[in-house]
Amino acid sequence: MRKVMLTGDRPTGKLHVGHYVGSLRRRVELQNTGDFDDIFIMIADAQALTDNADNPEKVRQNIIEVALDYLACGLDPKKSTLFIQSQIPQLCELSFYYMNLVTVSRLQRNPTVKAEIQMRNFEASIPVGFFTYPISQAADITAFKATTVPVGEDQMPMLEQTREIVHKFNSVYGETLVDPKILLPENQACMRLPGIDGKAKMSKSLNNCIYLSEEPEEIKKKVFSMFTDPTHIRIEDPGKLEGNTVFTYLDAFCRPEYFPEFLPEYKDLDELKEHYQRGGLGDMKVKRFLNNVLQAELEPIRNRRKEFQKDIPAVYEMLREGSEKAEAVAAETLKDVKAAMKINYFDDEELIKGQSKKFSD
Ligand code: TRP
């Protein structure tokens, strides 16, 4: 069977280090293994509009920011198709037909949508488009016959919903759609990278993100203001690792080679953690190390971004070509779907013959 990867992001802001360890880094690695027959990376502007309908300019402005972040991280248009969701009309058609296979109460049970409704104060009046976005996400995934969807844990309910739609569709209309698998981040720290304030979610409005395009001085300021263990007051005090943002970030970003380079007195992260827990290791020293690690990780990304920023028309052109290619693939799937659903009247000679016969008898 063909191996196809698909994933995407809503263009509501620049991408941050949470996006990076949660999915972007993995996508680039997978891209470069050469294991996939096709890779689709989608800028989900139509989904972003489901809760930003009154702010299209925000979505419009952030398309290029997300595209630049993608390229900066190493997504390569020669190996992956980068495209914009709204440019693929077939996704709307697929969503419309999938809606018949999903109940309102099933959508109401989606925990991610539930949490988002609360966060956006939508309880009293949920836009229908927002409420049904898990269905449109199923269209995104199935349109490209994706087998692998690398996303964060919060997307698990969307994948479950998609699989239900696939199973239902195939059982009602015959084997047509491909069952996708979710690919979650490799460790807990990457799964849910907290904001620099230790809060569970990184968000622009909380002002607790480190962006991929952040300048070195800003990164340093943010690292030094990070939440650690509030009971670890003097250097001699034993320190806690749970909920300690600096150590969570080290779990997500540290590579073995950073110890000889930046902190040669420790063998590895385990030894550093042990010392911290025992007492005698100050927060400043750990933060200095984390700053070095983050600077080393983000510098090449920032530099590559600046290169791509020099030719913005070329980035739009790349997205246009990607969108064209994506549309052709989605059109093939839509054709299969319409045939399976028996709404392919004009290219079904048997139908026309049969009807002729019925009326001539
Ligand atoms: N819901 C995803 C997010 O909020 C974005 C997205 C839209 C997506 N369609 C998708 C992710 C399809 C994976 C597959 O980030």
Predicted confidence at residue 262, as pLDDT, reads 97
Q: How far is the CA of 112 from the centre of ligand 1 (A)?
A: 12
* pLDDT confidence of residue 310: 98
Eight-state DSSP code of residue 97: H
Token pair for 63: 């398309």
| Dihedral sign from CA coordinates of 25, 31, 35, 41 | positive
Structure tokens at 340: 């399976």
Distance 339 CA to ligand 1 centre (A): 27
The per-residue pLDDT of the chain, averaged, comes to 95
- Rounded to 10°, the helix 283-309/216-224 angle is 150
Sheet with 38-43, strands from edge to edge, namely 81-84, 38-43, 4-9, 148-150, 181-183
Which residues surround ligand 1 with Cβ inside 6 Å? 6-10, 44, 47, 137, 140-141, 149, 151, 155
- Minimum CA distance residue for ligand 1 atom 15: 9
Tokens 């759609």 appear where? 177
Enter the DSSP assignment of 298: H
- Minimal-distance CA residue to ligand 1 atom 6: 8
Most distant pair of Cα atoms in the chain: their distance: 97
Q: Give the C-alpha separation, 241 to 235, whole Å.
A: 15
Distance 254 CA to ligand 1 centre (A): 27
CA 136 vs. chain centroid, Å, equals 15
Instruction: Answer whether 225's CB lies under 8 Å from 196's CB.
Output: yes
Q: Ligand 1, atom 9: nearest CA belongs to which residue?
A: 137
Atom of ligand 1 nearest to the CA of 6: 14
b/e code 41-57 from CB counts within 10 Å (16+ = b):
bbbbbbbbbbbbeeeee
Select from 80, 125, 57, 115 the least CA-distant residue to 319: 80
Nearest-CA residue for atom 2 of ligand 1: 9
**pLDDT for 213-266, tens place per residue?**
999 999 999 999 999 999 999 999 999 999 999 999 999 999 999 999 999 999
Alpha-carbon span 188 to 181, nearest angstrom: 19
pLDDT at 187: 83
Find where tokens 């195939």 sit. Answer: 170
pLDDT at 122: 81
The DSSP line for 9-47 is E--SS--BHHHIIIIIHHHHHHHHHT--SEEEEEE-HHH
In this prediction, the residues of the chain whose per-residue pLDDT falls under 50 are none
* Cα 335 to ligand 1 centre (Å): 23
Mutate to test the pocket of ligand 1, among 140, 142, 149, 156 (most ligand atoms within 8 A of CB): 140
Burial class for 341, CB neighbours closer than 10 Å (0-12, 13-18, 19+): middle
Q: Which of 6, 7, 49 is the pocket-test mutation for ligand 1 (most atoms within 8 Å of CB)? A: 7
- Which residue is closest in CA terms to ligand 1's atom 13? 7
Can you give the pLDDT at residue 120? Answer: 82
Which residue type does 36 have? F
Distances (CA, A) of 28 to 9, 38, 69, 86, 233: 15, 13, 12, 24, 40
